[in-house]
Amino acid sequence: MTSQELLFILSGVKNQYILEAKDFWQKKEKKKPGSSGSHPPAESLPFSPRKEPHHYQSRENGKRKKKKWGKFFILSAAVGLLLATLAGHGFFTQWTDYFATFLVKTREQNQYTQPIDEAKRLQTQTEPTLSATIDSPRDMDRILAYTTYFHEWMPGSFGSDAYSPYYEMKFLDLNADGRDEMVIWESTTGVVYEVVTIDNGQTVPLYSDSVFKMDEHEEEMYLCQDNTLEKFYSNPLQGQQLQEYYQVEDQTLVMVECIMQSQDNQWYRSKAGGASDGMWTEISESEAQAVQNNHVRIEVKQVSPISEETKARDKAEAEQRLQLVLKDQYPIHFYEEIEDNTLSGFCAKESEQLGFSVEITQYALLDMDGDSIPECVVDFRFGENEQVMCLVLKHLQNDEVLATGFYYRQMYRLKSDGTFRASGSEDTDGWYRLVWENMSWVMERVPEEENCESKPDAPWQIYESAQVQE
């Protein structure tokens, strides 16, 4: 079980307990949820439920703490006796009331704020907005349930192959019943991945898409300004393109109409679609355009190109962080590890597990993925063997330094432009480069005509342990 899976489970247990405590609190007080708390934005919460990179306490502090264990056991025995006495006087029943109150107040301050702010932000946009107010506790429960669903939505998890920083949730009344549904969409492409409602207190997906890479899509769902949903087929069996329009009725997606362009450019319209010719009516191109104009897709975010000033700042920040890592003054993070570690800590941990010395031999600062921002490649000696593995360190926008390991045959003969040799079998031998995609590295084969053999080698520098004290 990975650290993220563990944190995911613990988060679910916590949320369930808070919901139960909230029911108790509402019976005690009829109080409007507060809005003074702070909550991280939705983009940062579910994807990386970890604390920010941090520095570590010294070993001397750890030794002093160990000396207090004897006192701790004596104190624990005394506290146990006191608790047993209090239990006999009904103390814990009253204490549970106070604890439930505390949990719910904390939830009101911290967990309601972001859904409220998100809902109010949507109300100010020209796109379909919240039709219902969000002041009643019932509405807040609905938004909280949707927000929890979004936070626990696995494709949006940090490190997932399907991850995108542009997944967002929208609250809309799609069936005009005064209660909002939730749409999860990719805000730069407009593609809808989930349509979710609530039935008998449970979140229920009305639509789910399982294909997340755009180049693999042959059908895509979009949200329209009239609160309908358009399913667009780019390669239908019947013709060149097919557009189906749906609306939500009784918690079900029901087709309103669809249009199709055949291979000979003739347009057709249908109320139910299907493969039978009898279900389609021939229409003109202007009539097809009129149908499309009735269901206009909502606008998507325009991602501005990164300015040269921003690139220069990001480059300087990455270089600064990577230099601190090399000096053992800043931690690195592995996806599979709960706690961060320094380079020396990584070497010590590997040495203890393997039973022989693991040391850094050399490093190179170079752009591995062509984004003009440097990464750091660190080579190691395992015992007497220097051809075992390396780490590629990448500085992320949250100031985290992500470490990814590559074994020797996965990456060797590194060149100054980030290309490298890899071998495993006759089919995979060749030159490659790294591509940063969905928060992970992907190896992309380099065409033979690039002639990587003639490129200059990476600018390796000898790693001196003395530089840690600089």
Indicate the residue among 294, 316, 347 that finishes a domain.
Answer: 294
Residue 76 counted as domain residue: no
Q: Is the pLDDT of residue 199 over 50?
A: yes
pLDDT band at 443 (very low <50, low <70, confident <90, very high): very high
What integer pLDDT is reported at residue 66 of this predicted model? 41
pLDDT band at 280 (very low <50, low <70, confident <90, very high): confident
Say yes or no: 290 and 319 in one domain.
no
Residues 145 and 262 in one domain: yes
- Does an H or E element contain 267, and which? strand 267-270
Q: What is the mean pLDDT of residues 13-27?
A: 44
Q: Are 184 and 149 contacting, i.e. CB atoms less than 8 angstroms apart? A: no
Is residue 367 within 8 A of residue 459, CB to CB? The reply is no
- With a threshold of 0.75, does the pTM exceed it? no
**Predicted local confidence at residue 90, as pLDDT:** 53
Question: Alpha carbon 140 to chain centroid distance?
Answer: 24
What angle, 0 to 180 degrees and rounded to 10, lies between the N-to-C axes of helices 69-87 and 91-110? 110
Q: Quick one: 459 and 387 in the same domain?
A: yes
Whether 317 and 243 map to the same domain: the answer is no
Residues 6+ apart with CB under 8 A from 461: 362, 363, 364
**201 and 314 fall within a common domain:** no
pLDDT digits (tens, 9 = 90+) for 215-252: 455 788 999 999 999 999 877 666 778 899 999 998 88
State how far the Cα of 37 lies from the Cα of 113, in Å rounded to an integer.
6
Do 322 and 278 lie in one domain? The reply is no
Cα 403 to Cα 44: distance, rounded to the nearest angstrom: 20
Residues 316 and 451 in one domain: yes
Task: Read off the pLDDT of residues 121-168 as tens digits, 9 standing for 90 and up.
Answer: 444 443 444 444 444 545 788 888 998 898 888 775 655 556 677 889
Residue 423 lies in a domain: yes
Phi first, then psi: what are they for 285, rounded to 5°?
-65, -35
What is the SS3 string spanning 43-97? CCCCCCCCCCCCCCCCHHHHHHHHCCHHHHHHHHHHHHHHHHHHHCCCHHHHHHH
Q: How far apart are CA 135 and CA 374, in angstroms?
A: 49
Q: Lowest mean pLDDT of 80-89, 192-201, 288-297, name the range.
A: 80-89
Neighbouring C-beta atoms of residue 390, cutoff 10 Å: 24
Share in percent of the chain as helix, strand, coil (round to 5): 35, 25, 40
Confidence of residue 460 (pLDDT cuts 50, 70, 90): very high
Sheet holding 420-422, edge to edge: 420-422, 430-437, 440-445
Give domain status of residue 104, yes or no.
Answer: no
**Burial of 293 from C-beta contacts in 10 A (0-12 / 13-18 / 19+):** exposed
Q: For the residues 408-417, what does the mean pLDDT come to? A: 94
Instruction: Give the pLDDT of residue 335.
Output: 78
Number of domains the chain is built from: 2
What is the average pLDDT across 84-89? 54
Are 117 and 237 in the same domain? yes
Q: Are 367 and 422 within one domain?
A: yes
Q: Is the domain of 462 the same as that of 341?
A: yes
Domain encompassing residue 359 = 308-469
Q: Is residue 51 part of a domain?
A: no
| Span 290-308, average pLDDT | 88
Residue 184 lies in a domain: yes
406, 425 contact by CB (below 8 A) = no
- For residues 360 and 216, membership in a common domain is answered with no
In a domain, 375, yes or no: yes
Residue that is last in its domain, among 246, 267, 294:
294
Which of the listed residues 252, 268, 294 is the one where a domain comes to its end?
A: 294
Q: CA 416 to CA 151: how far, in whole Å? A: 40
Among 65-79, 316-330, 415-429, the range scoring the smallest mean pLDDT is 65-79
CB 13 within 8 A of CB 103: no
Compute the average pLDDT of residues 38-45: 34
Q: Are 177 and 267 members of one domain? A: yes
Q: What is the pLDDT of residue 337?
A: 78
- pLDDT greater than 70 at residue 119: no
Indicate whether 69 belongs to any domain: no
Assigned domain for 165 exists: yes
